[in-house]
Amino acid sequence: MSQKDFQFLELPRKMPKEIPSQLRIHGWDEIYGSFDNTNAAAQAGRCLDCGNPYCEWKCPVHNYIPNWLKLVQENRLFEAATLAHETNPLPEVCGRVCPQDRLCEGACTLNTGFESVTIGSIEKYIVDEAFKQGWRPDLSKVIATGKRVAVIGAGPAGLACADRLARAGIQADVFDRYEEIGGLLTFGIPPFKLEKHVMLTRRLVLEAMGVKFHLRTDIGKDIAFEKLLADYNAVFVGTGCYTAVDAKLPGQQLPGRLEALPFLIANARQILASDVASDISLDFKDKNVVVLGGGDTAMDCVRTSIRLNAASVTCVYRRDEASMPGSRREVGNARDEGVQFLFNHAPIAIEGSDKVTGVRLQETDISANKKSRAEFSVTSGHEKIVAADIVITAFGFRPSPAAWLEQHGVQLQESGRIQVSGGLPYQTSQPKIFAGGDNVRGADLVVTAVHDGRDAGLAIAKWLKP
């Protein structure tokens, strides 16, 4: 063994510089900076190159993590960028928003006793720096097939699919109802996690690869789905999950109650200076805000509310902290920024007469004999009211399948998710239509949507091969 094999003993885990919480709450910049080449190489050198890399297998797209860490260590940046894109069409996004603590870094061998390699931050460095230095995907050997595929949805699944189609010599036309690409990457995830220029850069890269975007276009309204089936050799549907789970709380119709996604979209459009009007008021100054929910969307809402100058922000979750489905890092960031947490309380009503004045909560109990995380019980008689001027509900999302899917023979599950049961991966019951991402699996991670779009693109290319 060389001395380098023990670098993890001499060099501790180090994240890029973080903007202090008392400063970052006054702006929208990403809270983590970027490595320079020296720090990236040093941190990459902590990798043990295990031989059986758990990090790689825990990653949903199975990134070649030890391999590109070694390339960074050897200052072979362009090769690292090429290798990163072999498995992940959006590595600069996943480097920012993946819950690495639960995936690759959580599975890192060093995570037991020595702290994991900073995989996510190095992934972000690789692509950001490679783009700055002029690296672009090399499609010089790609031969055009003359085939055309319509991709519905410019979110992570649709973009990943379009990338793989372009690499296979297939023309990808991406249709989306929003004014910019990215779907929830642009309009749902706040810029303190994913700055808006990241997706603008990716758009330029994809367009240079030959991908064409048709934005502000709602399929079924602006263009008939029948036309896509007639004009294209195949269709990929990556429309995500946009229907909010409705808890049917008494009082939820009161002014001052907001749904999480429309709130985040309105804020994103304000930051982007979009010309699309919103009827949601973002006047949070000196208001008391309560967010109901414990996932990453709830964390996005509480942290956004802090930056909108709310007087107080409280996150209410019906289970304990250990049961929260969101990223531990995001919970920590929210707490650092001044968010208060109230665990083991379930909302039973939103209070108020002509506007929101508070939330009525009932205490819950999670005992050791419960069989799953989802199980809990309310404690009879233990109620309280938390004062609030604004209540944001973030209970999760379900697919909202378009009517034209079933009209054209695409089978749906009872939940509304698209059923993929064709002869090829992600092929539906209508052979010409493929689907992937949240509209197939339900609300999930960005990286799983990327995985589905990538593999659906490969399946479509196989299906269209002469």
pLDDT at 112: 85
Residue 68 pLDDT level (bands cut at 50, 70, 90): very high
Is residue 203 within 8 A of residue 160, CB to CB? The reply is no
Residue 12 pLDDT level (bands cut at 50, 70, 90): confident
Q: Is the pLDDT of residue 191 over 90?
A: yes
pLDDT at 326: 82
CA distances from 426 to 153, 204, 228, 448 (A): 15, 27, 18, 13
Q: Which of 207-211, 238-242, 373-377, 379-383 has the lowest mean pLDDT?
A: 373-377
Q: Is the pLDDT of residue 445 over 60?
A: yes
CA 245 from centroid of its chain's CA atoms: 18
pLDDT at 183: 97
Residues 57-86 have a mean pLDDT of 97
State the CB neighbour count (10 A cutoff) for residue 366: 17
Q: For a pLDDT cut of 70, what percent of the chain falls above it?
A: 95
Q: How far apart are CA 300 and CA 306, in angstroms?
A: 10
Higher-confidence residue of 46 and 6: namely 46
pLDDT at 337: 98
pLDDT at 372: 56
pLDDT at 22: 96
pLDDT at 10: 72
Task: Identify which of 268, 86, 72 has the alpha carbon closest to the alpha carbon of residue 188.
Answer: 268
Q: pTM for the complete prediction?
A: 0.94
pLDDT for 111-133, tens place per residue? 888 899 999 999 999 999 999 99
pLDDT at 327: 86
Domains of the chain plus CATH, in order, are 3-132 (1.10.1060.10), 148-241+399-464 (3.50.50.60), 245-393 (3.50.50.60)
pLDDT at 51: 83
Q: Is the pLDDT of residue 1 over 70?
A: no
Q: Encoding tokens for residue 347?
A: 């909302």
Residues 440-449 have a mean pLDDT of 96
Q: Is the pLDDT of residue 290 over 70?
A: yes
pLDDT for 373-415, tens place per residue? 555 666 666 899 999 999 999 999 999 899 999 999 999 999 9
Query: Residue 239 contacts by C-beta under 8 Å, 6 or more apart in sequence?
Result: 152, 153, 155, 399, 400, 401, 402, 437, 439
Q: How far apart are CA 359 and CA 206, in angstroms?
A: 46
pLDDT at 8: 62
pLDDT at 400: 87
Query: Residue 378 contacts by C-beta under 8 Å, 6 or more apart in sequence?
Result: 346, 362, 363, 364, 365
Residue 96, φ and ψ in degrees, nearest 5:
-95, -45
pLDDT for 167-187, tens place per residue? 999 999 999 999 999 999 999
Q: Which of 62-76, 195-209, 319-333 has the lowest mean pLDDT?
A: 319-333
